[in-house]
Amino acid sequence: MNKAFVREPDDNGQRQCPRCGSLGEAVGPGTVAAHLPGGAESGLADAAFFCPYATCEVAYFDLFERVLTTDRLSRAVWPKDPGAPICACFGFTRDEIEADVREGSVRRTRELVDRAKSPAAHCATASASGRSCVADVQRYYMKLRDPTQV
């Protein structure tokens, strides 16, 4: 058997999505619960991970290779659904970033970043990855501004 195809556990605490092999981002049980329809059980261990790969159907998985697919979540999430808000705290979608880039402005994007850094942001439960959406917003803006620099 080719060694390259043997999955070895890595020791830096990061785990790979059982479907696509992307490195998952650790999320707390509160993040997973916040994305399930009221009262639904995730069926995952408390130590769960978010798969950040946009086209993978797995939203969350655990170390036992159990998965929670996007169709079981209570709402569409970025980046799995490009129409979902990048920042779910304030319902900020990529349309607004695209409008900024079209107008050669940074007004909307800067405003969002400021709000996302304020105490009103609750990305830990609103964002599917459990992390602040500031990095996603900035990455998307830069990608639109200069598609050669990704």
Residues engaged in binding Zn ion (CB under 5 A): 17, 19-20, 22, 51, 53, 56, 58, 87, 89, 116, 121, 123, 133
Those residues whose C-beta lies under 8 Å from the C-beta of residue 96, and which sit 6 or more positions away, are: 108, 109, 112
CB of 95 to Zn ion, least distance (A): 16
**22/138 with CB nearer Zn ion:** 22
Those residues whose C-beta lies under 8 Å from the C-beta of residue 7, and which sit 6 or more positions away, are: 16
**61/100 with CB nearer Zn ion:** 61
**100/130 with CB nearer Zn ion:** 130
Residue whose tokens read 């929670």: 68
Residue 6 to residue 26: CA distance in whole angstroms = 23
CB of 100 to Zn ion, least distance (A): 17
